[in-house]
A and B are shown apart, each in its own frame.
Chain A
Amino acid sequence: MAQPQNTAEQSVDQKTIVSMRNVNKWFGQFHVLRDINLSVDKGERIVVCGPSGSGKSTLIRCLNRLEKHQDGDIFVHGIELNNDVKNIDEIRREVGMVFQHFNLFPHLSILENCMLAPIWVRKTPRAEAEEIAMHFLTRVKIPEQASKYPGQLSGGQQQRVAIARALCMQPQLMLFDEPTSALDPEMIKEVLDTMVELADDGMTMICVTHEMGFARRVADRVIFMDEGQIVEQNEPEAFFNNPKSDRTKLFLSQILGH
């Protein structure tokens, strides 16, 4: 099961890192993801936007099996997501995720937060794990906070630690689930700056966010979701200046209207 059955698909394009085909998902009676088709290339930066409840978060949470899709195929990094625990483990190792509410471990110091996964998942020696952690903490510009606890940091700092923590696993793909929506305005910028830097370094990213400035500046592609479907996707210029679907127009007028 480690290798997907349809090798044909994979051989077509080795550059594809995510491919979702005809994916459907229900919460009880509620059809939250409707016929999702998406493929993401290595190095691509994708911004997913849409009104709340449109299934954006569910979409990216399906990519590392925090949610289970019930219909269709998802391949991440060439591995099929199914019930096989080994596949799930492998995919989660390669996919980093940043949450809206940071979800740092409050009982561990910043450094320990960053070292946990390298040590217990990658089986990295401690010294090396510490080195990696400090490297990425430096990259998000808070190496001096390493010995503090999450509760002692500001929201923006916490979110940057969360990004560093995910990077410590050196993932191929980073998922961002509304990383700035729980932050005060003055902290949003520091997190976005970190994300822009990450994007400039060529990291493959899928971001659920309402930060349209970020989308314009960084995204290769903007995806608009509504009622569980991908309604429109385009490069940012075209998406923002010339939306095609009425729903996209309405959404854009609402969030850019003031």
Chain B
Amino acid sequence: MTRKVIKAAPKKTTMKKAIPSDIDTQAGYVRIEDAPLLPPPPSEVGVTGWLYKNIFASMSDFGSVSATLKSVFVAASTLFILYFLITQISGLLDFAIFSAVWSDPEGLKRQACWTVEQGGALPNGWHAACWPFIEAKAKFIFYGAYPSDDLWRVNLTYALGGFMLAWVMIERLPYRKIVGILLLTVYPVMATVLLTGGAFSISTGTIGGATILGLALITIGRLGKAGYVSGAFGDLALVAGVCGWLVILFAAVLAVFAIDFDLEAIDTRDWGGLLITLVVAITGIVASLPLGILLALGRRSEMPVARFLCTVFIEFWRGVPLITVLFMASVMLPLFMPEGVNFDMLLRALIGVTLFSAAYMAEVVRGGLQAIDKGQYEGADAVGLSYWQSMRLIILPQALTHVIPGIVNTFIGLFKDTALVSIVGIFDLLGAAQSTLADAAWSTPVQGLTGYLVVAVIFFVFCFGMSRYSMFMERKLNRSHKS
């Protein structure tokens, strides 16, 4: 390495110690020409550098006895893990792809996946996926016993939901807010009608009564706004107005449910598979969000009674396993209702799941509320907003954006937990797959593994995708927070 420097004449300085004279880097030194920019040594970059840094650095310390032992141990475990990973992954690929039986052109069913020993044609010791079995059961695994002629209704529901969700998530599209609101309000009604067939027997009296009640409440609200109602009752009148709109909305939903769209009614007992999984998870999350927000606000409220009740409610549901909640919903809910009121099994499970996840949602939202700077509350108070106004306009929008990752994570948990409804006799994705295993026509030693593999892959794709999305949102929120 050449060094080109010009040494200025050493100066006498006020240093207490004399200037050492050994090297050229002393006072009055100026570098005239840049030191060359050199390529890094191989230990820093390139394949060798990468390998050294990522693998061998952890096992190349032989400085002492214990360090040597550690290096040897690390090297041995690295080899072992590498071997394990390679065998497992290649084994999985072999099971699922290379050795698998892909088709059953002769319609042999289980015999297509039998070895010679078992009476089939495959070599002994063969052990791989039996895809014709899944092909034959695909409809059941994805839709349950939903009538084949009406599958378009399910697919249409999926397509609509997927389309709207994609619209909301792609940031460049216009009207994202409106689509989002439609997704949360109109879409569930539409999905319900499409999936069940609608035309519920709701008496016109109920709808009419609700409409009249709503109109009356709205009128009171209008009077209040116009100043005809005095003092504190004015506020109550405004509240009545808001309730009126909710009642009218409710009546509208009932009316839509009562309309006969000429769709065949399909009992929820015939639903199954992935359809149930999606219905339970999505209903659970959408319904639990507003409930969770209310509970979170209640738990942070200054009113002791409200706070106490919300805390008890939240801690109760969080303290018990979902299974017991589902047991309770399926066994005790009918007991709680007046005689003659009967929920179908799916609705009971939905109620249980919603209450359960509302408690978790409440804790997520509470985390978001706590993370909001005190100044925001004070600012909202200072400009004279009422409690509900400041929550709606200032606090909740911030808190909810803050906790999107948390909400997605709760959703992932709920999505996986839907598998538990199979224990109370609802055939979700896992339940449906499990029940196909009982079909003797396809009974082979690989039947179970094949079925579980399919279910695992579906769950994995959904959950992994969502967790990546939540991580993406987290990074994005962190970025926007810093700037």
Count A interface residues, CB 8 Å. 42
Say yes or no: is B24 at the interface (Cβ < 8 Å to chain A): yes
Interface segment, one of A95-103, A153-161, A188-196, A224-232: A224-232
Q: For residue B11, which residues in chain A have a CB less than 8 angstroms away from its CB?
A: 234-235, 238
Say yes or no: is A147 at the interface (Cβ < 8 Å to chain B): no
Q: For residue B19, which residues in chain A have a CB less than 8 angstroms away from its CB?
A: 41
Say yes or no: is A38 at the interface (Cβ < 8 Å to chain B): yes
A233 to B13, CA, bound (A): 13
Q: For residue A21, which residues in chain B have a CB less than 8 angstroms away from its CB?
A: 23
> Are B17 and A34 closer than 8 Å at their CB atoms?
no
Q: For residue B117, which residues in chain A have a CB less than 8 angstroms away from its CB?
A: none
B22: contacting residue among A16, A24, A26, A84, CB under 8 A:
A16
> Are A31 and B40 closer than 8 Å at their CB atoms?
yes
> Are A35 and B1 closer than 8 Å at their CB atoms?
yes
Nearest CB of B to A202, in Å = 8
A229: contacting residue among B8, B35, B43, CB under 8 A:
B35
Nearest CB of A to B65, in Å = 12
> Are A234 and B20 closer than 8 Å at their CB atoms?
no
- B residues 22-53 near A (Cβ < 8 Å) are 22-32, 34-38, 40-41, 43-45
Nearest CB of A to B121, in Å = 57
Nearest CB of B to A227, in Å = 7
Say yes or no: is A113 at the interface (Cβ < 8 Å to chain B): no
Say yes or no: is B54 at the interface (Cβ < 8 Å to chain A): no
- A residues 1-60 near B (Cβ < 8 Å) are 9, 12-13, 15-16, 19, 21-22, 24, 26, 28-29, 31, 34-35, 37-39, 41-44
> Are B31 and A26 closer than 8 Å at their CB atoms?
no
Q: For residue B8, which residues in chain A have a CB less than 8 angstroms away from its CB?
A: 234, 244
Nearest CB of A to B34, in Å = 7
> Are B26 and A233 closer than 8 Å at their CB atoms?
yes
Say yes or no: is B230 at the interface (Cβ < 8 Å to chain A): no
B31: contacting residue among A22, A29, A39, A245, CB under 8 A:
A245
> Are A227 and B30 closer than 8 Å at their CB atoms?
no
Contact A24 to B38, CB < 8 A, known contacts A233-B26, A233-B27: yes
Say yes or no: is B386 at the interface (Cβ < 8 Å to chain A): no
Nearest CB of A to B412, in Å = 33
Say yes or no: is A127 at the interface (Cβ < 8 Å to chain B): no
- A residues 199-258 near B (Cβ < 8 Å) are 202, 220-221, 227-235, 238, 244-245
> Are A12 and B26 closer than 8 Å at their CB atoms?
no
A235: contacting residue among B3, B24, B27, B31, CB under 8 A:
B27
A70 to B38, CA, bound (A): 12
> Are B25 and A232 closer than 8 Å at their CB atoms?
no
> Are B20 and A235 closer than 8 Å at their CB atoms?
no
> Are B44 and A26 closer than 8 Å at their CB atoms?
yes
A232: contacting residue among B1, B17, B30, B43, CB under 8 A:
B30
Contact A234 to B40, CB < 8 A, known contacts A43-B17, A83-B63: no
Say yes or no: is A131 at the interface (Cβ < 8 Å to chain B): no
> Are A39 and B22 closer than 8 Å at their CB atoms?
yes
- B residues 340-398 near A (Cβ < 8 Å) are none
A144 to B63, CA, bound (A): 43
A35: contacting residue among B3, B20, B41, CB under 8 A:
B3
Contact A235 to B40, CB < 8 A, known contacts A19-B23, A34-B35, A85-B64: no
A70: contacting residue among B26, B37, B41, CB under 8 A:
B41
Count B interface residues, CB 8 Å. 35
B37: contacting residue among A34, A220, A238, CB under 8 A:
A34
Say yes or no: is A71 at the interface (Cβ < 8 Å to chain B): yes
Say yes or no: is B16 at the interface (Cβ < 8 Å to chain A): yes
Q: For residue B480, which residues in chain A have a CB less than 8 angstroms away from its CB?
A: none
Nearest CB of A to B28, in Å = 5
Say yes or no: is B178 at the interface (Cβ < 8 Å to chain A): no
Nearest CB of B to A78, in Å = 13
> Are B44 and A233 closer than 8 Å at their CB atoms?
no
Contact A230 to B25, CB < 8 A, known contacts A28-B45, A70-B43, A220-B15: yes
Say yes or no: is B14 at the interface (Cβ < 8 Å to chain A): yes
A26: contacting residue among B14, B23, B36, B40, CB under 8 A:
B40
A229 to B29, CA, bound (A): 12
Nearest CB of A to B476, in Å = 27
> Are B25 and A39 closer than 8 Å at their CB atoms?
yes
> Are A84 and B45 closer than 8 Å at their CB atoms?
no
B38: contacting residue among A31, A42, A232, CB under 8 A:
A31
> Are A244 and B35 closer than 8 Å at their CB atoms?
no
> Are B40 and A41 closer than 8 Å at their CB atoms?
no
A234 to B31, CA, bound (A): 12
From B28, which residue of chain A is reached at the shortest CB distance? A234
> Are B13 and A232 closer than 8 Å at their CB atoms?
no
Nearest CB of A to B367, in Å = 23
> Are A227 and B34 closer than 8 Å at their CB atoms?
yes
A35 to B1, CA, bound (A): 8
Q: For residue A202, which residues in chain B have a CB less than 8 angstroms away from its CB?
A: 16
Q: For residue B14, which residues in chain A have a CB less than 8 angstroms away from its CB?
A: 220, 235
> Are B23 and A229 closer than 8 Å at their CB atoms?
no
Q: For residue A15, which residues in chain B have a CB less than 8 angstroms away from its CB?
A: 17, 20
Q: For residue A41, which residues in chain B have a CB less than 8 angstroms away from its CB?
A: 17, 19-20
Nearest CB of A to B298, in Å = 33
Contact A233 to B29, CB < 8 A, known contacts A15-B20, A37-B3, A227-B34: yes
Q: For residue B20, which residues in chain A have a CB less than 8 angstroms away from its CB?
A: 13, 15-16, 39, 41
A13 to B17, CA, bound (A): 13
> Are B27 and A232 closer than 8 Å at their CB atoms?
no
Q: For residue B13, which residues in chain A have a CB less than 8 angstroms away from its CB?
A: 220-221, 235
A231 to B35, CA, bound (A): 10
A19 to B22, CA, bound (A): 10
> Are B17 and A70 closer than 8 Å at their CB atoms?
no
7 contacts between A and B (CB under 8 A): A22-B3, A41-B17, A70-B43, A83-B63, A232-B29, A233-B26, A238-B28
The 10 closest A-B pairs by CB, nearest first: A26-B40, A35-B35, A34-B35, A235-B13, A37-B25, A244-B30, A220-B15, A39-B23, A85-B63, A26-B44
| Chain A interfacial positions (CB closer than 8 Å to B) | 9, 12-13, 15-16, 19, 21-22, 24, 26, 28-29, 31, 34-35, 37-39, 41-44, 70-71, 83-85, 202, 220-221, 227-235, 238, 244-245
| Chain B interfacial positions (CB closer than 8 Å to A) | 1, 3, 8, 11, 13-17, 19-20, 22-32, 34-38, 40-41, 43-45, 63-64, 67
Contacts A13-B22, A233-B27 known; 15 new A-B pairs at CB < 8 A: A29-B45, A31-B37, A34-B38, A35-B3, A37-B23, A41-B19, A70-B40, A71-B41, A221-B27, A231-B30, A233-B25, A233-B29, A235-B15, A244-B30, A245-B32
